[in-house]
């Protein structure tokens, strides 16, 4: 083991060896955009295989940490050659988003650590299921359970949609349980007053 690698290990850096150079592991994780939707991260080997199989086309956009913007896969030279790691930025003035729309500045891919919190409503959905209305509380629990998994995969739009549905079903269950409870109390009061 070389002295440089020992030093990197002592510092706790997550690195690996490629072509006798230490390469940060995050540089080798790629994101790609397919049909306007961001996917990834995937290891460089997996992305190369996806390009070779045609799953990712030459015009599909790719990005990795250290790159200033998304570029078409055909322009990412390090994806075509297994031994090269090119960190040079693409030509000026060609910044694009995964949807292919020109943008004035760069925005990296969303990740679960991007600081966006999506409420999952799991606790309220369980409480209304137990105390209010079981049949209507079940969809609330199902949607609430999906939120964190969608956030972990980077599907923020799907997570927001599941969160909204969980909140909606929680309130529907609560309202139904409250309404049925009030009807029961009213029935008891009327029955008691009439001597039934």
Q: Residue 117 domain-assigned?
A: no
Q: Residue 183 domain-assigned?
A: yes
pLDDT in tens, 143-192: 999 998 888 777 888 888 999 999 999 999 999 999 999 999 999 999 88
pLDDT band at 99 (very low <50, low <70, confident <90, very high): very low
Picking from 109, 141, 162, the residue at the C-terminal end of a domain is 109
Q: Clarify whether residues 96 and 23 are in a common domain.
A: yes
Q: Residue 103 domain-assigned?
A: yes
Q: Clarify whether residues 75 and 140 are in a common domain.
A: no
Range in 56-60, 109-113, 118-122 with the lowest mean pLDDT: 109-113
Q: Residue 6 domain-assigned?
A: no
Q: Clarify whether residues 135 and 105 are in a common domain.
A: no
Q: Clarify whether residues 162 and 105 are in a common domain.
A: no
pLDDT in tens, 49-73: 999 898 988 888 888 887 878 888 8
Q: Clarify whether residues 104 and 18 are in a common domain.
A: yes
CATH number at residue 51: 3.30.1490
Q: Clarify whether residues 25 and 89 are in a common domain.
A: yes
Q: Clarify whether residues 42 and 79 are in a common domain.
A: yes
Q: Residue 114 domain-assigned?
A: no
Q: Residue 170 domain-assigned?
A: yes
Residue 17 pLDDT > 70, yes or no? no
Residue 36 pLDDT > 80, yes or no? no
Q: Clarify whether residues 18 and 105 are in a common domain.
A: yes
Q: Residue 25 domain-assigned?
A: yes
Q: Clarify whether residues 20 and 103 are in a common domain.
A: yes
Q: Clarify whether residues 21 and 64 are in a common domain.
A: yes
The total number of structural domains in the chain stands at 2
| Pairwise CA distance, residues 43 & 97, whole Å | 21
Residue-averaged pLDDT of the chain = 74
Residue 86 pLDDT > 50, yes or no? no
| Pairwise CA distance, residues 36 & 172, whole Å | 34
Q: Radius of gyration (Cα) for the chain, nearest Å?
A: 26
Picking from 45, 80, 109, the residue at the C-terminal end of a domain is 109
pTM of the predicted model over 0.75: no
Specify the pLDDT at position 115.
Answer: 52
Residue 107 pLDDT > 90, yes or no? no
Structural domain including 54 reads 14-109
Q: Clarify whether residues 29 and 102 are in a common domain.
A: yes
Q: Residue 3 domain-assigned?
A: no
Specify the pLDDT at position 169.
Answer: 94
Range in 43-52, 56-65, 81-90, 137-146 with the lowest mean pLDDT: 81-90
Q: Clarify whether residues 24 and 103 are in a common domain.
A: yes
Measuring CA to CA, which residue among 146, 160, 71 is closest to residue 110? 160
β-partners of residue 29 are 43
The dihedral formed by the CA atoms of 68, 70, 75 and 81, expressed in degrees to the nearest 10: 80
């Amino acid at each position: 083991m070389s002295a440089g690698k020992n030093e990197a290990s002592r510092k706790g850096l997550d690195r690996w060896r490629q072509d006798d150079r230490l390469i940060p592991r995050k540089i080798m994780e790629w994101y790609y955009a397919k049909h306007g939707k961001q996917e990834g991260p995937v290891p460089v080997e997996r992305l190369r295989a996806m390009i070779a199989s045609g799953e990712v086309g030459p015009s599909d956009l790719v990005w990795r940490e250290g790159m200033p913007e998304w570029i078409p896969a055909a322009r990412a030279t390090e994806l075509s050659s297994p031994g090269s790691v090119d960190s040079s930025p693409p030509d000026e003035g060609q910044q694009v988003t995964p949807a292919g729309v020109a943008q004035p500045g760069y925005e990296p891919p969303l990740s679960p650590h991007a600081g966006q919190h999506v409420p999952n409503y799991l606790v309220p959905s369980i409480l209304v299921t137990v105390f209010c209305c079981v049949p209507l509380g079940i969809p609330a629990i199902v949607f609430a359970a999906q939120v964190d998994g969608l956030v972990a995969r980077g599907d923020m739009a799907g997570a927001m949609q599941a969160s909204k549905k969980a909140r909606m079903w929680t309130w529907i269950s609560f309202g139904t349980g409250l309404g049925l409870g009030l009807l029961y109390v009213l029935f008891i009061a009327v029955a008691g007053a009439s001597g039934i």
